[in-house]
Protein backbone atom coordinates (compact mmCIF):
# COMPACT_ATOMS: atom_id res chain seq x y z
CA UNK A 1 0.00 0.00 0.00
CA UNK A 2 1.37 3.46 -0.90
CA UNK A 3 2.14 5.96 1.85
CA UNK A 4 -0.68 8.31 0.85
CA UNK A 5 -3.22 5.49 1.20
CA UNK A 6 -1.83 4.61 4.61
CA UNK A 7 -2.09 8.24 5.70
CA UNK A 8 -5.63 8.42 4.37
CA UNK A 9 -6.89 5.36 6.28
CA UNK A 10 -4.73 6.14 9.33
CA UNK A 11 -2.80 2.88 9.11
CA UNK A 12 0.47 4.80 8.70
CA UNK A 13 2.64 4.49 11.78
CA UNK A 14 4.17 7.77 12.94
CA UNK A 15 7.53 7.95 14.67
CA UNK A 16 8.45 11.10 16.55
CA UNK A 17 12.06 11.39 17.70
CA UNK A 18 12.44 13.76 20.64
CA UNK A 19 9.58 14.11 23.10
CA UNK A 20 10.00 17.61 24.48
CA UNK A 21 7.98 20.78 23.99
CA UNK A 22 7.71 20.11 20.24
CA UNK A 23 7.61 16.34 19.95
CA UNK A 24 5.09 15.38 22.60
CA UNK A 25 2.33 17.83 21.53
CA UNK A 26 2.87 16.64 17.95
CA UNK A 27 2.53 13.02 19.07
CA UNK A 28 -0.73 13.84 20.84
CA UNK A 29 -2.11 15.62 17.75
CA UNK A 30 -1.36 12.71 15.43
CA UNK A 31 -2.70 10.14 17.91
CA UNK A 32 -5.83 12.19 18.50
CA UNK A 33 -6.42 12.10 14.74
CA UNK A 34 -6.37 8.31 14.60
CA UNK A 35 -2.72 7.46 13.99
CA UNK A 36 -0.62 5.10 16.08
CA UNK A 37 2.39 7.07 17.26
CA UNK A 38 5.72 5.78 18.52
CA UNK A 39 7.57 8.34 20.58
CA UNK A 40 11.32 7.76 20.58
CA UNK A 41 13.65 9.41 23.09
CA UNK A 42 17.01 8.53 24.61
CA UNK A 43 15.80 9.71 28.02
CA UNK A 44 14.48 6.60 29.75
CA UNK A 45 12.82 8.61 32.54
CA UNK A 46 10.86 10.59 29.96
CA UNK A 47 9.76 7.38 28.22
CA UNK A 48 8.69 5.87 31.54
CA UNK A 49 6.64 8.98 32.29
CA UNK A 50 5.00 8.87 28.88
CA UNK A 51 4.11 5.18 29.06
CA UNK A 52 2.33 5.71 32.37
CA UNK A 53 0.46 8.73 31.00
CA UNK A 54 2.36 11.08 33.32
CA UNK A 55 2.19 14.46 31.54
CA UNK A 56 5.24 16.73 31.70
CA UNK A 57 4.24 19.35 29.12
CA UNK A 58 1.82 22.03 30.36
CA UNK A 59 0.24 22.67 26.94
CA UNK A 60 -1.12 19.12 26.82
CA UNK A 61 -4.29 17.97 28.57
CA UNK A 62 -3.49 15.41 31.27
CA UNK A 63 -6.72 13.57 30.51
CA UNK A 64 -6.09 13.50 26.76
CA UNK A 65 -2.58 12.11 27.13
CA UNK A 66 -3.74 9.46 29.59
CA UNK A 67 -6.53 8.42 27.24
CA UNK A 68 -4.24 8.12 24.22
CA UNK A 69 -1.60 6.15 26.14
CA UNK A 70 -4.17 3.81 27.67
CA UNK A 71 -5.70 3.14 24.25
CA UNK A 72 -2.31 2.29 22.76
CA UNK A 73 -2.30 5.19 20.33
CA UNK A 74 0.93 6.61 21.85
CA UNK A 75 3.77 4.27 22.74
CA UNK A 76 7.11 5.44 24.08
CA UNK A 77 10.40 3.67 23.50
CA UNK A 78 14.17 4.17 23.57
CA UNK A 79 14.62 1.43 20.95
CA UNK A 80 15.32 2.94 17.52
CA UNK A 81 14.77 -0.41 15.80
CA UNK A 82 11.05 0.41 15.88
CA UNK A 83 11.87 2.61 12.85
CA UNK A 84 11.84 -0.60 10.79
CA UNK A 85 8.05 -0.48 10.90
CA UNK A 86 7.54 3.31 10.88
CA UNK A 87 6.09 5.04 7.82
CA UNK A 88 6.73 8.69 8.71
CA UNK A 89 9.52 9.94 10.96
CA UNK A 90 9.44 13.44 12.44
CA UNK A 91 12.70 14.62 14.01
CA UNK A 92 12.14 17.03 16.92
CA UNK A 93 15.45 16.99 18.78
CA UNK A 94 17.20 19.98 20.40
CA UNK A 95 19.50 22.18 18.32
CA UNK A 96 21.31 24.40 20.86
CA UNK A 97 24.25 26.73 20.37
CA UNK A 98 27.65 26.02 21.85
CA UNK A 99 29.56 28.54 23.95
CA UNK A 100 30.87 30.32 20.85
CA UNK A 101 27.30 30.56 19.46
CA UNK A 102 27.97 28.03 16.73
CA UNK A 103 25.22 25.51 15.88
CA UNK A 104 25.32 22.23 17.76
CA UNK A 105 23.72 19.66 15.45
CA UNK A 106 25.05 16.67 17.38
CA UNK A 107 21.51 15.57 18.31
CA UNK A 108 20.55 15.47 14.62
CA UNK A 109 23.76 13.57 13.79
CA UNK A 110 23.00 11.01 16.50
CA UNK A 111 19.52 10.50 15.06
CA UNK A 112 20.99 10.04 11.59
CA UNK A 113 23.28 7.29 12.83
CA UNK A 114 20.21 5.36 13.95
CA UNK A 115 18.02 6.31 11.01
CA UNK A 116 20.56 5.01 8.48
CA UNK A 117 20.22 1.54 9.99
CA UNK A 118 16.46 1.39 9.58
CA UNK A 119 15.50 3.54 6.59
CA UNK A 120 13.30 1.59 4.19
CA UNK A 121 11.29 2.18 1.01
CA UNK A 122 8.19 4.37 1.20
CA UNK A 123 9.41 6.16 4.35
CA UNK A 124 8.87 9.90 4.91
CA UNK A 125 11.41 11.79 7.00
CA UNK A 126 10.68 15.32 8.16
CA UNK A 127 13.11 17.45 10.15
CA UNK A 128 11.33 19.91 12.45
CA UNK A 129 14.27 21.00 14.60
CA UNK A 130 15.32 24.59 13.93
CA UNK A 131 18.64 24.73 12.15
CA UNK A 132 20.72 26.63 9.60
CA UNK A 133 19.76 26.79 5.90
CA UNK A 134 21.23 23.82 4.10
CA UNK A 135 21.06 21.29 6.94
CA UNK A 136 18.46 19.03 5.32
CA UNK A 137 20.20 18.86 1.94
CA UNK A 138 23.85 19.09 3.03
CA UNK A 139 23.84 17.10 6.28
CA UNK A 140 20.89 14.72 6.25
CA UNK A 141 20.49 13.78 2.59
CA UNK A 142 24.08 12.53 2.00
CA UNK A 143 23.80 10.24 5.02
CA UNK A 144 20.48 8.78 3.90
CA UNK A 145 21.74 8.39 0.33
CA UNK A 146 24.18 5.77 1.63
CA UNK A 147 21.21 3.41 1.80
CA UNK A 148 21.08 3.27 -2.04
CA UNK A 149 17.45 4.37 -1.85
CA UNK A 150 16.61 7.29 -4.14
CA UNK A 151 15.10 10.40 -2.59
CA UNK A 152 11.79 11.38 -4.13
CA UNK A 153 11.17 7.83 -5.36
CA UNK A 154 12.06 5.34 -2.62
CA UNK A 155 11.95 7.69 0.35
CA UNK A 156 10.84 11.28 0.98
CA UNK A 157 12.72 14.01 2.83
CA UNK A 158 11.57 17.48 3.84
CA UNK A 159 12.05 20.26 6.35
CA UNK A 160 9.01 21.59 8.20
CA UNK A 161 9.85 24.04 11.00
CA UNK A 162 8.09 23.71 14.32
CA UNK A 163 6.05 26.73 15.34
CA UNK A 164 5.17 25.86 18.92
CA UNK A 165 4.37 28.80 21.18
CA UNK A 166 4.20 27.44 24.76
CA UNK A 167 1.28 28.83 26.73
CA UNK A 168 -0.53 30.23 23.69
CA UNK A 169 -4.19 29.38 24.22
CA UNK A 170 -5.32 30.66 20.82
CA UNK A 171 -2.88 29.07 18.40
CA UNK A 172 -2.13 25.37 18.73
CA UNK A 173 -0.72 22.84 16.27
CA UNK A 174 -3.99 22.42 14.38
CA UNK A 175 -4.66 26.07 13.57
CA UNK A 176 -1.06 27.25 13.12
CA UNK A 177 -0.14 27.11 9.39
CA UNK A 178 2.61 24.58 8.66
CA UNK A 179 5.46 25.39 6.27
CA UNK A 180 6.86 22.48 4.24
CA UNK A 181 9.77 22.32 1.80
CA UNK A 182 10.85 19.00 0.30
CA UNK A 183 14.01 17.89 -1.49
CA UNK A 184 11.86 17.09 -4.54
CA UNK A 185 8.34 18.02 -5.59
CA UNK A 186 7.19 14.53 -4.68
CA UNK A 187 8.74 14.86 -1.22
CA UNK A 188 6.84 18.11 -0.74
CA UNK A 189 3.60 16.56 -1.95
CA UNK A 190 3.81 13.54 0.37
CA UNK A 191 4.77 15.72 3.33
CA UNK A 192 1.88 18.06 2.64
CA UNK A 193 -0.50 15.10 2.59
CA UNK A 194 0.75 13.93 5.99
CA UNK A 195 0.57 17.31 7.71
CA UNK A 196 -2.84 18.11 6.21
CA UNK A 197 -4.18 15.13 8.15
CA UNK A 198 -3.75 17.08 11.40
CA UNK A 199 -3.25 20.77 10.45
CA UNK A 200 -5.75 23.16 8.87
CA UNK A 201 -3.34 24.99 6.54
CA UNK A 202 -0.11 23.72 4.96
CA UNK A 203 2.08 26.27 3.18
CA UNK A 204 4.43 24.93 0.51
CA UNK A 205 7.80 26.48 -0.32
CA UNK A 206 10.21 25.55 -3.09
CA UNK A 207 12.96 23.87 -1.08
CA UNK A 208 14.13 22.79 2.37
CA UNK A 209 16.47 25.80 2.38
CA UNK A 210 13.51 28.14 1.98
CA UNK A 211 11.63 26.40 4.82
CA UNK A 212 14.71 26.50 7.05
CA UNK A 213 15.11 30.23 6.40
CA UNK A 214 11.40 30.90 7.05
CA UNK A 215 11.79 29.79 10.66
CA UNK A 216 14.94 31.81 11.16
CA UNK A 217 13.32 34.92 9.67
CA UNK A 218 10.31 34.61 11.98
CA UNK A 219 12.39 34.61 15.13
CA UNK A 220 15.03 37.02 13.83
CA UNK A 221 12.19 39.47 13.17
CA UNK A 222 11.08 39.15 16.78
CA UNK A 223 14.60 39.33 18.20
CA UNK A 224 15.46 42.49 16.28
CA UNK A 225 12.22 44.26 17.15
CA UNK A 226 12.52 43.31 20.80
CA UNK A 227 16.10 44.57 20.72
CA UNK A 228 14.81 47.84 19.27
CA UNK A 229 12.20 48.42 21.98
CA UNK A 230 14.68 47.38 24.68
CA UNK A 231 17.06 50.07 23.47
CA UNK A 232 14.20 52.57 23.21
CA UNK A 233 13.31 51.74 26.83
CA UNK A 234 16.82 52.65 27.94
CA UNK A 235 16.73 55.83 25.86
CA UNK A 236 13.37 56.79 27.38
CA UNK A 237 14.81 56.44 30.87
CA UNK A 238 17.50 58.93 29.91
CA UNK A 239 15.00 61.23 28.18
CA UNK A 240 12.61 61.23 31.11
CA UNK A 241 9.87 59.71 28.93
CA UNK A 242 7.62 56.72 29.72
CA UNK A 243 8.36 54.07 27.10
CA UNK A 244 5.11 52.22 27.78
CA UNK A 245 3.10 55.35 27.06
CA UNK A 246 5.09 55.88 23.86
CA UNK A 247 4.54 52.30 22.66
CA UNK A 248 0.81 52.32 23.42
CA UNK A 249 0.38 55.60 21.57
CA UNK A 250 2.40 54.38 18.57
CA UNK A 251 0.30 51.20 18.48
CA UNK A 252 -2.82 53.23 17.73
CA UNK A 253 -1.51 53.73 14.19
CA UNK A 254 -3.51 51.27 12.07
CA UNK A 255 -0.67 50.63 9.62
CA UNK A 256 3.12 50.55 9.51
CA UNK A 257 3.65 49.70 13.21
CA UNK A 258 3.64 46.41 15.10
CA UNK A 259 3.65 46.51 18.89
CA UNK A 260 6.57 44.97 20.75
CA UNK A 261 7.32 45.59 24.42
CA UNK A 262 10.61 45.72 26.35
CA UNK A 263 11.61 43.38 29.14
CA UNK A 264 14.50 41.97 31.16
CA UNK A 265 15.89 39.99 28.21
CA UNK A 266 15.01 37.15 25.86
CA UNK A 267 14.15 33.61 26.86
CA UNK A 268 12.97 30.33 25.44
CA UNK A 269 14.61 27.99 22.97
CA UNK A 270 13.79 29.97 19.82
CA UNK A 271 14.15 33.75 19.84
CA UNK A 272 17.50 34.00 21.71
CA UNK A 273 19.01 31.16 19.63
CA UNK A 274 17.54 30.92 16.13
CA UNK A 275 18.92 34.20 14.72
CA UNK A 276 22.44 33.01 15.51
CA UNK A 277 21.94 30.02 13.20
CA UNK A 278 21.39 32.46 10.36
CA UNK A 279 24.27 34.66 11.51
CA UNK A 280 26.59 31.65 11.68
CA UNK A 281 25.59 30.51 8.18
CA UNK A 282 26.24 33.97 6.77
CA UNK A 283 29.72 34.02 8.32
CA UNK A 284 30.53 30.90 6.30
CA UNK A 285 29.62 32.99 3.24
CA UNK A 286 31.82 35.89 4.38
CA UNK A 287 28.88 38.13 5.30
CA UNK A 288 28.13 39.73 8.66
CA UNK A 289 24.48 39.76 9.75
CA UNK A 290 24.74 43.14 11.47
CA UNK A 291 21.14 43.54 12.64
CA UNK A 292 21.23 40.09 14.26
CA UNK A 293 24.50 40.78 16.06
CA UNK A 294 23.39 44.18 17.34
CA UNK A 295 20.01 42.93 18.55
CA UNK A 296 21.78 40.06 20.29
CA UNK A 297 24.09 42.48 22.09
CA UNK A 298 21.20 44.65 23.30
CA UNK A 299 18.97 41.79 24.37
CA UNK A 300 21.71 39.94 26.24
CA UNK A 301 22.65 43.17 28.05
CA UNK A 302 19.18 43.66 29.53
CA UNK A 303 19.78 41.56 32.69
CA UNK A 304 22.71 43.88 33.46
CA UNK A 305 20.43 46.86 32.96
CA UNK A 306 17.92 45.32 35.38
CA UNK A 307 20.77 45.04 37.88
CA UNK A 308 21.34 48.79 37.46
CA UNK A 309 17.63 49.46 38.10
CA UNK A 310 17.79 47.36 41.26
CA UNK A 311 20.80 49.36 42.43
CA UNK A 312 18.97 52.62 41.68
CA UNK A 313 15.98 51.49 43.73
CA UNK A 314 18.02 50.32 46.69
CA UNK A 315 19.93 53.60 46.72
CA UNK A 316 16.68 55.39 47.52
CA UNK A 317 16.74 53.58 50.85
CA UNK A 318 20.50 54.02 51.42
CA UNK A 319 21.08 50.34 50.65
CA UNK A 320 23.38 48.53 48.25
CA UNK A 321 22.91 45.30 46.33
CA UNK A 322 25.71 43.78 48.37
CA UNK A 323 24.10 42.38 51.51
CA UNK A 324 20.50 42.94 50.39
CA UNK A 325 17.88 40.20 50.34
CA UNK A 326 16.08 40.15 47.02
CA UNK A 327 13.08 38.18 45.76
CA UNK A 328 12.67 37.36 42.08
CA UNK A 329 9.05 37.11 40.98
CA UNK A 330 8.78 34.71 38.05
CA UNK A 331 11.70 32.77 36.58
CA UNK A 332 9.96 31.10 33.62
CA UNK A 333 10.92 32.83 30.37
CA UNK A 334 7.31 33.89 29.71
CA UNK A 335 4.10 34.09 31.68
CA UNK A 336 1.95 31.10 32.62
CA UNK A 337 4.36 28.34 31.56
CA UNK A 338 6.98 26.26 33.38
CA UNK A 339 9.77 26.62 30.83
CA UNK A 340 13.00 28.26 32.08
CA UNK A 341 15.15 27.65 28.99
CA UNK A 342 17.35 30.70 28.36
CA UNK A 343 15.24 32.67 30.86
CA UNK A 344 16.72 36.12 31.58
CA UNK A 345 15.62 35.66 35.19
CA UNK A 346 18.43 33.15 35.64
CA UNK A 347 20.94 35.73 34.43
CA UNK A 348 19.52 38.37 36.78
CA UNK A 349 19.74 35.94 39.69
CA UNK A 350 23.34 35.11 38.84
CA UNK A 351 24.33 38.78 38.54
CA UNK A 352 22.69 39.58 41.86
CA UNK A 353 24.52 36.78 43.62
CA UNK A 354 27.82 37.87 42.11
CA UNK A 355 27.09 41.37 43.44
CA UNK A 356 26.67 40.00 46.96
CA UNK A 357 22.89 39.77 47.26
CA UNK A 358 20.99 36.94 48.87
CA UNK A 359 18.48 35.86 46.21
CA UNK A 360 15.28 33.85 46.49
CA UNK A 361 12.46 33.38 44.00
CA UNK A 362 8.76 32.70 43.72
CA UNK A 363 7.21 30.99 40.69
CA UNK A 364 4.30 28.61 41.17
CA UNK A 365 4.97 27.12 37.73
CA UNK A 366 8.60 26.33 38.61
CA UNK A 367 8.78 25.11 42.22
CA UNK A 368 12.48 24.20 42.05
CA UNK A 369 15.48 24.53 39.73
CA UNK A 370 18.99 23.18 39.40
CA UNK A 371 21.29 25.93 40.65
CA UNK A 372 25.02 26.15 41.36
CA UNK A 373 25.44 22.39 41.26
CA UNK A 374 22.51 21.75 43.57
CA UNK A 375 18.81 22.40 43.90
CA UNK A 376 17.17 25.73 44.63
CA UNK A 377 13.60 25.63 45.93
CA UNK A 378 11.30 28.59 45.43
CA UNK A 379 8.85 30.05 47.93
CA UNK A 380 5.64 28.06 48.09
CA UNK A 381 3.44 31.07 48.77
CA UNK A 382 3.50 34.86 48.78
CA UNK A 383 2.26 36.50 51.97
CA UNK A 384 2.45 39.95 53.48
CA UNK A 385 4.95 38.69 56.03
CA UNK A 386 7.19 37.02 53.46
CA UNK A 387 7.23 40.03 51.12
CA UNK A 388 8.07 42.48 53.90
CA UNK A 389 11.33 40.72 54.70
CA UNK A 390 12.89 41.48 51.30
CA UNK A 391 14.78 44.66 50.55
CA UNK A 392 13.48 44.46 47.00
CA UNK A 393 11.22 42.32 44.84
CA UNK A 394 12.01 42.13 41.13
CA UNK A 395 9.10 41.32 38.84
CA UNK A 396 10.56 39.59 35.79
CA UNK A 397 7.72 37.31 34.59
CA UNK A 398 4.15 38.40 35.12
CA UNK A 399 2.22 35.19 35.72
CA UNK A 400 -1.54 35.71 35.74
CA UNK A 401 -1.83 34.15 39.21
CA UNK A 402 0.32 36.84 40.86
CA UNK A 403 -1.56 38.92 43.42
CA UNK A 404 -0.51 42.39 42.28
CA UNK A 405 -2.34 44.14 45.10
CA UNK A 406 -0.54 42.05 47.71
CA UNK A 407 2.82 42.65 46.04
CA UNK A 408 2.21 46.41 45.87
CA UNK A 409 1.04 46.78 49.45
CA UNK A 410 3.56 44.49 51.16
CA UNK A 411 6.80 45.12 49.27
CA UNK A 412 9.38 47.67 50.39
CA UNK A 413 10.74 48.17 46.86
CA UNK A 414 9.48 46.88 43.50
CA UNK A 415 11.52 46.67 40.30
CA UNK A 416 8.85 46.40 37.61
CA UNK A 417 10.25 45.19 34.27
CA UNK A 418 6.82 44.37 32.75
CA UNK A 419 4.83 47.57 33.45
CA UNK A 420 2.53 45.65 35.78
CA UNK A 421 2.02 48.70 37.99
CA UNK A 422 1.24 51.14 35.20
CA UNK A 423 -0.40 54.28 36.53
CA UNK A 424 0.65 53.65 40.13
CA UNK A 425 2.62 56.63 41.44
CA UNK A 426 4.75 55.40 44.30
CA UNK A 427 8.40 56.11 44.99
CA UNK A 428 8.99 52.46 45.91
CA UNK A 429 8.38 51.40 42.29
CA UNK A 430 11.21 51.47 39.77
CA UNK A 431 10.03 50.83 36.21
CA UNK A 432 11.96 49.69 33.21
CA UNK A 433 11.73 52.34 30.50
CA UNK A 434 10.65 55.24 32.72
CA UNK A 435 12.40 58.14 34.40
CA UNK A 436 13.93 57.02 37.67
CA UNK A 437 13.20 59.38 40.52
CA UNK A 438 16.16 59.66 42.88
Active site residue 270: yes
Taking alpha carbons only, the member of 278, 220, 267, 222 closest to residue 103 is 278
3-state secondary structure the chain: CCHHHHHHCCCCEEEEECCCCCHHHHHHHHHHCCCEEEEECCCHHHHHHHHCCCCCCCCCCHHHHHHHHHCCCEEEECCHHHHHHCCEEEECCCCCECCCCCECCHHHHHHHHHHHHHCCCCEEEEECCCCCCCHHHHHHHHHHHCCCCCECCCEEEEECCCCCCCCCCCCCCCCCCEEEEECCHHHHHHHHHHHHCCCCCEEECCCHHHHHHHHHHHHHHHHHHHHHHHHHHHHHHHHCCCHHHHHHHHCCCCCCCCCCCCCCCCCCCCCCCHHHHHHHHHHHCCCCCHHHHHHHHHHHHHHHHHHHHHHHHHHCCCCCCCCCEEEEECCCCCCCCCCCCCCHHHHHHHHHHHCCCEEEEECCCCCEEEECCEEEECCCCCCHHHHHCCCEEEECCCCCCCCHHHHHHHCCCEEECCCCCCCCCCCCEEECCCCCCC
Q: Cα-flanking dihedrals φ and ψ of residue 403, to 5°?
A: -90, 95
Q: Please, which residues bridge with residue 39 across strands? A: 16, 76
Catalytic residue among 92, 158, 236, 270: 270
Q: Which of 325, 321, 299 is nearest to 310 (CA)?
A: 321
CA distance 296 to 130: 18
List, by residue number, the catalytic residues: 270
Amino acid sequence: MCLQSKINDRSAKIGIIGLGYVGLPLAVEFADNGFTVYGIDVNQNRIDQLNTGDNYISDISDEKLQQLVNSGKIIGTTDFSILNSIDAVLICVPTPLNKSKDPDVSYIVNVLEQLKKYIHPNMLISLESTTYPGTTRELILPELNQSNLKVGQDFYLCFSPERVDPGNQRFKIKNTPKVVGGITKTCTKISKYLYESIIDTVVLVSSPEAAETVKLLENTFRSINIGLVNEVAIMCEKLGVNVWEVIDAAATKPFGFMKFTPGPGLGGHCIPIDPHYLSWKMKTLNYQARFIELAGEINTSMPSHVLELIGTGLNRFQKSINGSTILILGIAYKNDINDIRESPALDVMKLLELAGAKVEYYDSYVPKIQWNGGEKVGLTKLTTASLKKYDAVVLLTDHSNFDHKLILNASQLIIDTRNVFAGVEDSKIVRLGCIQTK
